[in-house]
Amino acid sequence: MSRTAPDTVARAAPRPSPRATRRLPVGGLVAHAVLVVLAVVYVFPFLIQVANAFKTDGDATADPLDLLPLPGTTAAFTTLFTQLDFPRAAMNSAVVAVAVTLGRVFFDCLAGYALARLPFRGRGIVFAGFVAVIAVPPVVLLIPKFLVLNQLGIYDSYAGMIVPLMADAGGVFIMKSFFESVPRSVEEASYLDGAGTFRTFWSVVLPMARPAVVTITILSFQASWNELSHFVVSRSSPDLDTLTTLVATLTSGGAFGQANQYPLKLAAAALMTIPVAVLFFVFQRQVMAGTEGAVKE
Amino acid sequence: MSSDVATATRTPTSSRTARPSPHGRRQARAGWVFTAPALLLVLLFVGLPVVMAVWVSVSGWRGRGSPFASGVPFVGLDNYRTLLAGGGLPTQDLGTALRNNFWYVVLVVPLQTVVALLLAVAVNRRTLRGRGFFRTAFYFPSVTSSVAIVVVFLFLFSASGAVNQVIGVLGIDGPNWFADPRGVLHVLLGALGVGESPGALADHGFIGISWWEWLAGPSVAMSALILLAVFTTSGTFMLLFLAGLQNISAEVEEAALVDGASSFQRLRHVTVPMLRPVLFTVLTLGLVGTWQVFDQIYAGTQGGPAKTTITPAYLSYTTSFVDQRWGQGAAIAFILFAIIVVLTLVQRAVLRGDRT
């Protein structure tokens, strides 16, 4: 049975007429065409976004479908960098995303390793606790998180923006599963050489977990770069605006919120997409594999 | 489930700690030290918030000073009562938010699941050329921030925007999407000649709004947000389905082929039943996710037009942060939590029972 043309068989078997077999390439072509149309539908919004960022307000409103705005204008970008504090928001986003990612990855690895490999009393309960935390819907925590930050006196500070996002039960879970797949013999050799627990973890086991570490690094960066709701409840001063909160204020009114100022908003949205887009295209395989693994039951 | 996990992981622990060698004791200490940071973070920013919010939801705290200060009154279930049965504006708003989110869930969950499944089946075909390109194209929207996507959709669906220009070519006069509060079902009923509510539906209601209002369907504005949700999530779920499809053995597929099943029959009777576990995950994640819409509302519509896009999550935020009714805001969060838990359990039961 040929594997390359399963459709031939499917269509030919019930009514094996020559006409039916000839329908195959047409059917395949139709399916392919449908996919191409769908792909265009998925990609088109991003093309429109970039193209209209280089138009004047009037052109964007009058002719949004024109994908080649020649000669084009960079007025929107100039406004972003001169009249709005876009660079500062970008820096805040970067600082927060990098700090959150470093913290998450380090703590996830430590905890994941302990839960997978280090026998200690109460390990089962601790693990069950992490699993229970995954089940709490984040939006339910919005108001409560503000209450805690306020009580701790770190509302409206970098600490308040960064530290709570480091809590990441899902990452602990991923790392635990991965460490369980590392053969024990590796560690035993290291212990026999007289290395301590942390040393064994750090210089023997962790390097072997590279693929999983890359995956949670990318997922963490992406999540904290794109985060909005936590920064809505953990800060209020414009100095601490991240890209997400800044762009959200652009769309929700204020001096730049007028309905027709779309090039400005689209330019901001396009710029804020660049880092995650680059990361995605560089580490595409890991991102996709990670998404599959992270949510698999 | 969690208790199974607990016992399963504890077994090796007890056998080890039974003979405490110096190495074992050192490892046990290291175990706690290694877990401590992650555990502390989770307790501080998930455990403690939940406890504090429980208190605030039964208190009369107005946002001044600490909610644990001695002057803050205990009001019992008053906040919940005002919200669910008070009959005033808070009840109306909650009813509206639940209605809006209900229609959002009812449309987004099936749509994103079906789209994701079809994309996965199409992209999984061995004969397809450019599989990598298609996967990337469909998954990319999932990578970008919800704020950025909302900006793009506000533009696409504006009065003279790209969407209206495209459907204008087909001779359809598109609505001013994000300014249109009309319920889609009301519009359809109006087209059938039912312009006004039958008396019984208008006179009776549930959580502050009449049954006729419940039957409005998603507003035109909400419909655009529904399309946005399908656009951004179908790629993620496509990946889950793809992982599941790779587990279906080629032999099963071939057996169906030999039996003369058509592509649709194969999808219906072979692929979907074998994807059951993935389908379960996708539906659960979809259900839990769609009841939590916040970003799109905060950055996009702020609940408008005419409150037709407020959701419980957004209402909980505005009630607390804008109106300073913190007790009610926290109570809304718990009502939402309860809805999510109950619906997930119901869905589990339905899907389990369905199997036999």
B327-348 pLDDT per residue, tens: 999 999 999 999 999 998 888 8
**How crowded is the C-beta side of A26, counted as CA atoms within 13 Å?**
6
For A79-295, CATH number out of 3.40.50.1980, 1.10.3720.10, 3.40.30.10, 3.30.360.10 equals 1.10.3720.10
Res B14: pLDDT: 43
Nearest partner of A265 among B149, B39, B29, judged by Cα:
B149
Considering the entire predicted model, what is its pTM?
Answer: 0.87
Strand partners, B167: none
| Option in B141, B165, B254 nearest A64 (CB) | B165
With CB atoms and an 8 Å threshold, state whether B291 touches A137.
Answer: yes
Q: Is the pLDDT of residue A13 over 60?
A: no
In Å, what is the CA distance from B151 to each residue of A254, B109, B175?
15, 23, 18
What is the spatial distance between Cα B282 and Cα B118, in angstroms, rounded to a whole number?
A: 14
Distance from CA of A119 to the nearest CA of B (A): 5
Res B254: pLDDT: 76
The 10s digit of each residue's pLDDT in A146-186 is: 989 988 999 999 999 999 999 889 899 989 999 998 888 88
What is the spatial distance between Cα B103 and Cα B76, in angstroms, rounded to a whole number?
A: 32
Q: Is the pLDDT of residue A271 over 90?
A: yes
* Best to test chain B binding among A80, A143, A152, A231 (most B CBs inside 10 Å): A143
| Option in A32, A108, A139 nearest B292 (CB) | A139
Helix (H) or strand (E) holding B206: strand B205-206
Res B101: pLDDT: 96
Distance from CA of B287 to the nearest CA of A (A): 11
Helix (H) or strand (E) holding B205: strand B205-206
Between A161-170, B190-199, B211-220, the lowest mean confidence (pLDDT) is in: B190-199
Contacts of B149 (CB under 8 A, 6+ apart): A45, A269, B141, B228, B231, B232
Q: Is the pLDDT of residue A68 over 90?
A: no
Res A18: pLDDT: 44
Other Cβ atoms within 10 Å of B264 Cβ, number: 8
What is the spatial distance between Cα B174 and Cα B157, in angstroms, rounded to a whole number?
A: 9
The 10s digit of each residue's pLDDT in A184-209 is: 888 888 888 888 889 999 999 999 88
Please state the rounded mean pLDDT for residues B30-50: 92
Average predicted confidence (pLDDT) for chain A: 84
**Closest residue in chain B to residue A287, using alpha carbons only:** B143
Res B264: pLDDT: 78
Q: Does residue B305 have a cis peptide bond before it, meaning omega lies within 30 degrees of 0?
A: yes
Residues in B touching A142 (Cβ below 8 Å): 294, 313, 316-317, 333
With CB atoms and an 8 Å threshold, state whether A296 touches B243.
Answer: yes
- Read off the pLDDT band of B1 (50, 70, 90): very low
| Option in B12, B30, B134 nearest A39 (CB) | B134
Average predicted confidence (pLDDT) for chain B: 86
Res A250: pLDDT: 87
Greater confidence (A195 vs A242) lies with A242
Please state the rounded mean pLDDT for residues A272-296: 77
Residues in A touching B317 (Cβ below 8 Å): 142-143, 232-233
Please state the rounded mean pLDDT for residues B228-248: 90
- Read off the pLDDT band of B20 (50, 70, 90): low
Q: Is the pLDDT of residue A125 over 60?
A: yes
Res A15: pLDDT: 43
Q: Where are the domains of chain A?
A: 6-78, 79-295
What is the spatial distance between Cα B45 and Cα A146, in angstroms, rounded to a whole number?
A: 10
What is the spatial distance between Cα B84 and Cα B68, in angstroms, rounded to a whole number?
A: 26
With CB atoms and an 8 Å threshold, state whether A142 touches B317.
Answer: yes
Res A293: pLDDT: 56
Please state the rounded mean pLDDT for residues B34-59: 91
Q: Is the pLDDT of residue A277 over 80?
A: yes
End-to-end CA distance of chain A: 34
**Closest residue in chain B to residue A172, using alpha carbons only:** B38
**Closest residue in chain A to residue B160, using alpha carbons only:** A61
Q: Where are the domains of chain B?
A: 2-81, 88-183+218-355
Q: Is the pLDDT of residue B42 over 80?
A: yes
Size of interface A-B (CB pairs under 8 A): 351
Q: Is B320 exposed, middle or buried (CB count within 10 Å of its CB: 0-12, 13-18, 19+)?
A: buried
Residues in B touching A196 (Cβ below 8 Å): 26
**Closest residue in chain A to residue B299, using alpha carbons only:** A248
Q: Is the pLDDT of residue A10 over 80?
A: no
The 10s digit of each residue's pLDDT in A19-55 is: 444 444 566 778 788 889 999 999 999 999 999 999 9
Residues in B touching A129 (Cβ below 8 Å): 39, 42
- CATH fold group of domain B88-183+218-355: MetI-like fold (1.10.3720)
* pLDDT > 90 in chain A, percent: 47
**Closest residue in chain B to residue A11, using alpha carbons only:** B262
With CB atoms and an 8 Å threshold, state whether B128 touches A163.
Answer: no
Res B212: pLDDT: 86
Distance from CA of A267 to the nearest CA of B (A): 10
Res A106: pLDDT: 96
What is the spatial distance between Cα B29 and Cα A264, in angstroms, rounded to a whole number?
A: 55
